[in-house]
């Protein structure tokens, strides 16, 4: 179906965290692919499983959290079974990660220079001097003024926006094929948010880097991504191109998320929020996990878990009310007209 081989294929991945109060099913049967140069967004409330999925892909899960099933293929290689040494050669080299809080994701005891240069030393075998020279170039590329001086500064001497740009410089240093950005703008003020997002777009477009952008903010996705996955209770509940999902959401949860975005036009009033709370992830699913909060739920929703089904070209939804494509019609034939 995909003309080009995808960079990343996540196939039926489940992640569990055994705790004293039972096993948390943090991600359930997560399944998606990421094309070369594609910018994919993952959106959902906190606890929906988006971050844990990203950490699972990066092999960064801290015990006791672990992947219980599924495969994660990066250019055909299964990350879940990779030798730890190969994981270290792969991380930071072929994939980069940007974390939520730039204030805490840089080591407070190390100078900026060494934190950027070390990826080049480790993965490209550069000497300290070469790596430092290149680190300076990288800082320039992420529009940090006075790059040479910044090399010898410590993180606390930089503003939040600058620190996040340093983190981006680190993630992009080895020209990775894929970047996972976990809420890269959440901790920043609004102007810095826009700057960081623009920078990330420019850099990844220039390098044709694939991006997975994780956020709880659909407007960031609308601004940055081409395709979007909506996650709820550890499952993907909707997938499609950003335009389609925003203009015509097929899952009531996506609709609810869209309703809760503040708008500049229109009536001023209380911002709608989604009633109820996300479900207890330690329980086995009885029906649709969104059913208790869903305005259009009916009997079937409470007894039968809706499967994530293809409902159109490149569109999937896990809702009994979303119409799947009847299997007897070939889509290609229709479109060929």
Partner 1 sequence: MWKYLGKRLGWTVVVIWGVMTLTFLIAYAVPGDPARLIAGPGASAATVASIHRQLGLDQPIWTQYLEYCWRLLQGNFGISFLRKVPVLPAILQRAPVTAMVAVGGVIFELLIGIPIGVLAALRPGSVWDRVATIFALLGLSAPSFWLGLFLLYYLAFVNSWFPLGGVGSPLIYYLVLPCLTVGLNGAAWYSRMLRSTMLDILQAPYMQMARAKGVPGWLLLRRHVLPNVIIPIITMVGMDFGYFLGGVLIIEVVFGLPGIGQQAWQAIQVLDIPMIMGTVIFAAMAIVVMNVLVDISYVLFDPRVRVG
Question: Using CB under 8 A as the criterion, which residues of the chain lie in contact with partner 1 when the complex forms?
Answer: 58, 60, 62, 85, 87-93, 96-97, 99-101, 104-111, 114, 118-119, 122-123, 154, 156-157, 167, 170
Q: Which is nearer to partner 1, 55 or 218 (CB)?
A: 55
C-alpha span between 311 and 275 (Å, rounded)? 27
Cβ neighbours for 273, distance < 8 A, ≥ 6 positions apart: 260
Q: Facing residues of 96 across strands?
A: 179
Beta-bridged to residue 66, according to DSSP, are: 16
For residues 90 and 82, is the Cβ–Cβ distance under 8 A? yes
> What backbone torsions phi and psi does residue 215 show, to the nearest 5 degrees?
-160, 160
Kindly state the smallest distance separating residue 181's Cβ from partner 1, in Å. Answer: 11
Q: What is the smallest separation between the CB atom of 132 and partner 1, expressed in angstroms?
A: 15
CB-based contacts of 264, cutoff 8 Å, min separation 6: none
As measured in angstroms, the least distance from the Cβ of 167 to partner 1 is: 7
Buried b (16+ CB within 10 A) or exposed e, 269-303: eeeeebeeebbebeeebebbbbbebbeebeeebee
CB of 95 to partner 1, least distance (A): 8
CB atoms within 10 A of CB 190: 8
Residue 217 CB, shortest distance to partner 1, in Å, is 20
Cβ distance to partner 1 smaller for residue 78 or 299: 78
Would the CA dihedral through 105, 107, 113, 115 be positive or negative? negative
Three-point CA angle 199, 201, 207, nearest 5°: 105
Complex with partner 1: residue 105 or 215, whichever CB lies closer: 105
CB of 21 to partner 1, least distance (A): 18
What is the SS3 assignment for 14? strand
Contact call for residues 33 and 239 (beta carbons, < 8 A): no
Shortest Cβ 108–partner 1 spacing (Å) = 6
């Amino acid at each position: 179906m995909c003309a080009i081989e995808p960079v990343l294929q996540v196939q039926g991945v489940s992640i569990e965290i055994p705790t004293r109060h039972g096993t948390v099913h943090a991600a359930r049967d997560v399944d998606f692919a990421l094309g070369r140069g594609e910018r994919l967004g993952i959106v959902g409330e906190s606890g929906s499983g988006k971050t844990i999925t990203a950490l699972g892909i990066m092999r960064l899960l801290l015990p006791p959290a672990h992947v219980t099933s599924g495969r994660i293929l990066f250019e055909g290689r299964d990350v879940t079974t990779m030798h730890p040494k190969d994981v270290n050669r792969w991380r930071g080299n072929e994939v980069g990660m940007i974390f939520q809080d730039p204030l805490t994701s840089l080591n407070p005891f190390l100078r900026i220079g060494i934190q950027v240069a070390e990826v080049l030393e480790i993965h490209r075998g550069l000497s300290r001097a070469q790596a430092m020279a290149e680190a300076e170039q990288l800082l320039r590329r992420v529009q940090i003024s006075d790059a040479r001086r910044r090399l010898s500064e410590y993180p606390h001497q930089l503003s939040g926006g600058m620190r996040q740009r340093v983190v981006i410089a680190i993630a992009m240093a080895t020209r990775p094929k894929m970047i996972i950005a976990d809420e890269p703008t959440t901790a920043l003020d609004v102007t810095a948010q826009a700057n960081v997002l623009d920078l990330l777009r420019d850099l990844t477009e220039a390098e044709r880097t694939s991006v997975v952008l994780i956020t709880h903010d659909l407007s960031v996705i609308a601004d940055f991504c081409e395709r979007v996955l909506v996650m709820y209770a550890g499952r993907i509940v909707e997938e499609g191109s950003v335009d389609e999902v925003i203009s015509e959401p097929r899952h009531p949860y996506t609709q609810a998320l869209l309703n809760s975005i503040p708008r500049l036009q229109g009536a001023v009033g209380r911002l709608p929020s989604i009633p109820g709370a996300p479900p207890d992830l330690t329980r086995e699913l009885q029906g649709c996990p969104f059913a208790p909060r869903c305005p259009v739920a009916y009997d079937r929703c409470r007894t039968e878990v809706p499967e994530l089904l293809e409902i159109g070209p490149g569109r999937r939804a896990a809702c009994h009310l979303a119409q799947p494509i009847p299997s007897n019609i070939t889509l290609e034939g229709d479109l060929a007209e």
